[in-house]
Amino acid sequence: MPEADATTKAEKEFHANVPQESHAFFLKGSNAHDWGMNNRLARIFNPRSGKAVMLAFDHGYFQGPTTGLERVDLSILPLAPYADALMLTRGILRSVIPPASPNAIVMRASGGPSILKELSNEQIAVSIEDAVRMNVSAVAVQVFIGGELETQSVHNMTRLVDEGNRYGIPVLAVTAVGKEMVRDAKYMRLACRICAELGAAFVKTYYVPEDFETVSASCPVPLVIAGGKKLPELEALRMAHASIAQGAAGVDMGRNIFQAESPVAMIQAVRKVVHEGASPEQAFDSYKASKSVKR
C-alpha cells in the first residue's frame, strides 16, 4: 500500500483558478494527428524554428552508387550532426548508421525499378512493422503524378498512409517529376495537393522560381524542397532561402550538399538559411570561411 498523502487540501497546489492551456501544434495542417505522429514530426521539424534540414542520400535505391555516395560511411556520417533528419534506405540505415545516432530517420519505403526501367513502376518496399522496428520518424514514398503508373504510385502512398496511421508514423509523399513533365508551379500545385488530399503528412517537391508561393499556399500540410541537380553553392543557398521565404517548412537536400566542394561547410550554411533566417550571401560567406578551415 502506498503511504497515505496526509497533505491538506489547502496545502495542495491545484491552481483551480488557472485554466489548463491547449497548445496548437506548430506545423500547419497537423493538429488532428495523434500524439505519436506529432511527436515524430517534431523530431524532424525543429519546434523552435518550425523548420527542418533533412539530408537526403537515398538515391542509391534506384541509381546505385551515386557520385558522392560511393562510401556513405565516409561521406555522409560526418554530415549527420548538422542534419535534423536523415532520409535514407533501410539497407544503409542498418549497414552504416550507428543506432546511437540522434537524428530523426525518414525511411525510403517505395522502390522497385532501377534507372534502366520505368521509374514509376514502384511498389511499397518496407513493411510498417519494420519501420516501427527501426524507430523511424516518417516513411517516404514516391508519387508519380502524370507518370505512366500514376495510380499505382498513389495507391502505394494511400496504403502507407493507412498503415502509418495505425502506428502514428507520418508519410512523406515525394513528388517525382518525370522527364516529360513541365516543372512549373501549375504541375507542382497539382502534385502536392493530390498528395496532401490523400493523406500525406508532409510533401517533398521541387522549388520553381515562378509562383512557388502558390504551391506552398495550396498545399495544406508542410512542404520540404528537394535540392535537385548540383548547383553552384551560392545558387543552392538562394534556392533554399527563396523556398523558405515562400512558405516551405524545410529542405530535404542531397546532391547540393554531399556533392559540394565542402559538404560539411555546405550543410552548416544551409542550416543558417533554414533555421536562422540568414541571407544566402551571409550563409555563403560562412560557407567560404568554414571551407577554408582544413577538415
Contact predicate 222/27, CB 8 Å: yes
87 binds ligand 5RP per the rule CB under 6 A: yes
Cell numbers representing residue 204 in the block: 517533398
Query: How far is residue 219's CA from residue 36's CA, in Å, rounded to a whole number?
Result: 23
Q: Binding of ligand 5RP at residue 253 (CB under 6 A)? A: yes
Sequence-distant (≥ 6) Cβ neighbours of residue 271 within 8 angstroms: 53, 82
Choose between 176 and 196: whose C-beta lies nearer to ligand 5RP: 176
Tell me the window of 52-60, 131-139, 195-203, 208-216 that interacts with ligand 5RP (CB under 6 A): 52-60
User: From residue 218 to residue 247, what is the string marking binding to ligand 5RP with x (rule CB under 6 A)?
Assistant: --------xxx-------------------
Considering the rule CB under 6 A, would residue 255 count as an interface residue with ligand 5RP? yes
CA distance 111 to 61: 7
Applying CB under 6 A, the site for ligand 5RP has a residue count of 15
- Residues 175 and 208: beta-carbon distance below 8 Å: no
97 binds ligand 5RP (CB under 6 A): no
CB of 174 to ligand 5RP, least distance (A): 4
For the chain, list the strands marked E by DSSP.
Answer: 52-56, 85-88, 104-108, 110-111, 123-124, 138-143, 171-175, 202-206, 223-226, 250-253
Catalytic residues: 204
Query: Which residues bind to ligand 5RP, rule: CB under 6 A?
Result: 56, 58-59, 87, 142, 174, 176, 226-228, 252-256
